[in-house]
Structure 1
Amino acid sequence: MTELGIGIGWRPEIAEAVEALSGVDWVEVVAENICADHLPDSLTRLRERGVTVVPHGVSLGLGGADRPDPARLAALGEKAVALGAPLVTEHIAFVRAGGPLTATPLLEAGHLLPVPRTRDALDVLCENVRIAQDALPVPLALENIAALIAWPDEEMTEGQFLAELVERTGVRLLVDVANLHTNHVNRGEDPAEALSELPVEAIAYVHVAGGVERDGVWHDTHAHPVPGAVLDILGDLASRVSPPGVLLERDDDFPPAEELAAELEAITAVGTRSARAEPVGTAHAHGARPRIPAPRRPSLLIGAGARASGGPMPVAAPVEDPAPAEAARQRLAVTQASLLSALVAGTPVPEGFDTRRVGVQSRALAAKRAGVVAKVAPELPEILGKDFRPAFLAYARSRPMTGGYRRDALDFAEHLLLAGRPEDPAERRQLTEWWQDRSGSRPPGRATRLVRAARHALVRR
């Protein structure tokens, strides 16, 4: 397993600060934010200095009911090759639902949503992971996510779910201790119990991040300092096994470089202090089961350009039973589509879910959409001023995202123009010009508006 050391999440806003930090062995970059054939200069300079760069994906949705998109897998593999990465990482989550499996419109969450810890979901996830392993040119590690909501009638704990996933696929784990803290506050789950059930030998590296508590709900913001409770969980993990790497994540409200350096020092002190003095094999003395990840067979499928890169040959779990029955995918598809529709389209909350928590998650998703749209289309808040955020949140309540954030920005602008807004003629003219420059056409006529209204009505059913 690759020894990574101490790292930090690379973001364009702190690129200069990251380059200047001492003691950084590696960085992680959001895979969807870079192009394989046009890497940021900062990442190129870091690589030339010997700093390892790991691409971290957020859009595969391996926990979803659909099989992984070959194009997304190929793109992730190309970025791993371009960066010379020793591995790639993704999440145990679903990010979209609907489509052919449910004969409903495809909906995008714009966020990582939890997978039910059921046999159906695990069977589907395992097959999806094997597909990804076969297509990628380097090993894959998967991250446990933070959640505001819990699925009803779950059949396993998080630790049990992850342990069986590793046993069946040989996949590595990216353990996010901040997410364990989030799930402790929001869902009453014990981080120590989760760690005791994990196959700690399968850990590829560890994430550490900050958040904030509001009205009894912990929000994993990546925009606040790392709290003591998260460092305590990191210390517990480090007492069980020596993690190959520990990384600080910060995605917003970036502090001065000296504060980032101080957080890295604290993480280094806690994350490397305990288990380096004892062999990994003693982890069971602290409660972890001495499970060795299953051996993995040579890959049978080749992702676009993967082998030509010279990257390590990916392998996957031994052949088990045939792929999970399509009935399992169908059941999972229906439940995930129902939940996502309630979160982003205002449909009724499925039975068994905490209605208040679903409301909190729904508002959080809309707020994230507004924030990302403001970043990818900064002209919109400039044109609309203080009216941008309330107008977008009102729009998002009944208009789910069905494409990327740039498409979302165009759809929002079109929605305002069709409603005769903004009321100020000069602002409306600016918004019209902005929309036309990017869409290449005029706002739609009455027939098109009726078709789109019918489509939105179907989404809300």
Structure 2
Amino acid sequence: MKRIERLGTGIGWRPEIAEAVERLPGLDWVEVVAENVCPGHLPDSLVRLRERGVTVVPHGVALGIGGAGRPDPGRLSALAERAEALGSPLVTEHIAFVRAGGPLTASPGLEAGHLLPVPRTRDALAVLCENVRIAQDSLPVPLALENIAALVSWPGEELTEGQFLAELVDRTGVRLLVDVANLHTNHVNRGEDPLAALDEMPVEAIAYVHVAGGLEKDGVWHDTHAHPVPRPVLDILAELRRRTDPPGVLLERDDDFPPPDELAGELTAIRQTLESAAADAPAAPVRGVRPARPASAATEEAARERLGLAQAALLSALVAGTPAPEGFDAQRLWVQSRALAAKRSDVVAKVAPELPQILGSGYRSAFVAYARNRPMSSGYHRDALDFAEHLLIAGHPQDPAARRRLTHWWQDRAGARPPRRTTRIVRAARAALVRR
């Protein structure tokens, strides 16, 4: 495996902290959410950083490379375009699935709006490896994949996380993006040993490392990326450094951004952790234990079908209110379902900020109730319109002025299309309001 170039210490670039990021001392590189940038219209801040020699790496969140279906060519093309536009040395994604159903399972397509765990089984590994090869053939630069945090565990798993990652690297040569915050999250929520994972994974395949914060609530660790990095996460980072010298380490922060001096302080803490652990590192890196590649009697298509059915059943339970699949912890699925609905409401509030303004404090509870049995299928903008339409048909909000504002908002954004029955109902409601 060709060694990846050194990246140094970096931070996740976000529009809200763009100016602060540009002023951070000693910044070597940044990571940007791939889906949030347009290759032909890069933000001025990113352009200035690149002109200074700061490396920019696109980090995808929507490919769903761990899903049962083959990677979408359009999404792969978009990742490739961003890597080329940014002059990036690599592109990264997640070992996760984000959608399920569709033609493979002869069922409606479902979108999670979130990264969901892949079962650590031979079937899932076989499918993932083939999906990785497809992605690698479509990208102009190396691909690195990130381990994710999860609230739920799949029943009947055959491999540990470290073994799963080791076999994935063995079969595909893909690089790893190791998120030490996610290792901590899985330790708290699923009882997994982060040090055992580090011992089993091929640390020489690491392209870079993520560090992030979160918080514990009711015994569940939430990987928020909106809180300071806790000591246990830095301790795992130190353990990783004692095993290998990662080419890059990056601080992730996605919300509740602190003042610039606090961001700089967190980067300093990361650097100090790495320097201190380097003094304790052995002369040679500890290589991950690589299990032998097993022979599989199942064909890839059969594995895809079995995985597709399993992922569709899980996602349906999470976003459509169907019963929990056998072997899953129903209480954990309920917690995950609520978290997905809450995250969905937050994203809709960002893409359609007028909705919480119109609905006031009742917005979040109304959206979570709406989302409980109504899965998203066409993106967040469509989700916002469907939510508003649902409220109007049900006669909400009860305040006539608010309902009038919501009706106008919905009609202004619904676009020119043949009106459905529900559309005609809403227009009739608007006409009735105007006559009052």
Q: Distance in 1 between matches of 2:277 and 2:63?
A: 35
Number of residue pairs the alignment of both structures matches? 419
Q: Distance in 1 between matches of 2:51 and 2:263?
A: 23
Matches within 5 A, 1:238-253: 238-253=241-256
Normalising by structure 2, what TM-score?
0.93
- Counterpart code for 1:18: V
SS of alignment partner, residue 62 of structure 1: coil
Q: 1:139-173: per-residue Cα shift (whole Å, max 9, x none)?
A: 00000000000000000000000000000000000
Does residue 157 (structure 1) correspond to residue 160 (structure 2)? The answer is yes
Partner of 1:393: 368
Q: Distance in 2 between matches of 1:290 and 1:186?
A: 25
* Pairwise CA distance, 1:448: 9.1
Partner of 1:221: 224
- Counterpart code for 1:444: R
Does residue 336 (structure 1) correspond to residue 311 (structure 2)? The answer is yes
* Pairwise CA distance, 1:240: 0.5
Q: Which of 374, 396, 399 is residue 421 of structure 1 equivalent to? A: 396
Matched-pair contact (CA < 8 Å) for 1:283–1:290: no
- Counterpart code for 1:3: R
Provide closer, same or farther for how the CA distance between residues 417 and 444 of structure 1 changes in structure 2, counting only shifts above 3 A. Answer: farther
* Pairwise CA distance, 1:444: 3.1
Q: Distance in 1 between matches of 2:107 and 2:148?
A: 26
- Counterpart code for 1:282: A
Partner of 2:121: 118
Q: Which of 411, 425, 433 is residue 436 of structure 1 equivalent to? A: 411
Q: Distance in 2 between matches of 1:323 and 1:81?
A: 38
Tell which deviates more after alignment, 42-51 or 263-272: 263-272
Q: 1:169-206: per-residue Cα shift (whole Å, max 9, x none)?
A: 00000000000000000110000000000101100000
SS of alignment partner, residue 284 of structure 2: helix
- Counterpart code for 1:410: L
Normalising by structure 1, what TM-score?
0.88
* Pairwise CA distance, 1:430: 1.2
Q: Distance in 2 between matches of 1:421 and 1:321?
A: 55
Unpaired runs of 5+ in structure 2?
426-436
* Pairwise CA distance, 1:447: 10
Matched-pair contact (CA < 8 Å) for 2:163–2:289: no
* Pairwise CA distance, 1:45: 0.6
Matched-pair contact (CA < 8 Å) for 1:240–1:275: no
Matched-pair contact (CA < 8 Å) for 1:124–1:329: yes
Partner of 2:288: 289
Tell which deviates more after alignment, 408-417 or 150-159: 408-417
Matched-pair contact (CA < 8 Å) for 2:166–2:289: no
Q: 1:67-110: per-residue Cα shift (whole Å, max 9, x none)?
A: 00000000010000000000000000000000001111100000
* Pairwise CA distance, 1:24: 0.8
Matches within 5 A, 1:12-31: 12-31=15-34
Q: Which of 380, 386, 398 is residue 411 of structure 1 equivalent to? A: 386
Q: Distance in 1 between matches of 2:162 and 2:376?
A: 32
Q: Distance in 2 between matches of 1:445 and 1:145?
A: 42
Partner of 1:374: 349
Does residue 363 (structure 1) correspond to residue 338 (structure 2)? The answer is yes
Matches within 5 A, 1:9-158: 9-158=12-161
Q: Distance in 2 between matches of 1:434 and 1:324?
A: 51
Does residue 191 (structure 1) correspond to residue 194 (structure 2)? The answer is yes
Does residue 348 (structure 1) correspond to residue 348 (structure 2)? The answer is no
RMSD: 2.1
* Pairwise CA distance, 1:403: 1.5
SS of alignment partner, residue 397 of structure 2: coil
Q: 1:423-450: per-residue Cα shift (whole Å, max 9, x none)?
A: 222211211111111112586316999x
SS of alignment partner, residue 282 of structure 1: coil
Matched-pair contact (CA < 8 Å) for 1:127–1:324: no
* Pairwise CA distance, 1:353: 0.4
Does residue 255 (structure 1) correspond to residue 231 (structure 2)? The answer is no
Provide closer, same or farther for how the CA distance between residues 278 and 211 of structure 1 changes in structure 2, counting only shifts above 3 A. Answer: closer
Provide closer, same or farther for how the CA distance between residues 78 and 324 of structure 1 changes in structure 2, counting only shifts above 3 A. Answer: farther
- Counterpart code for 1:398: N
Q: Distance in 2 between matches of 1:228 and 1:321?
A: 42
SS of alignment partner, residue 253 of structure 1: coil
Provide closer, same or farther for how the CA distance between residues 276 and 58 of structure 1 changes in structure 2, counting only shifts above 3 A. Answer: farther
Matched-pair contact (CA < 8 Å) for 1:414–1:443: no
Q: Which of 405, 421, 434 is residue 445 of structure 1 equivalent to? A: 421
- Counterpart code for 1:289: G
Q: Distance in 2 between matches of 1:418 and 1:235?
A: 55
Matched-pair contact (CA < 8 Å) for 1:123–1:324: no
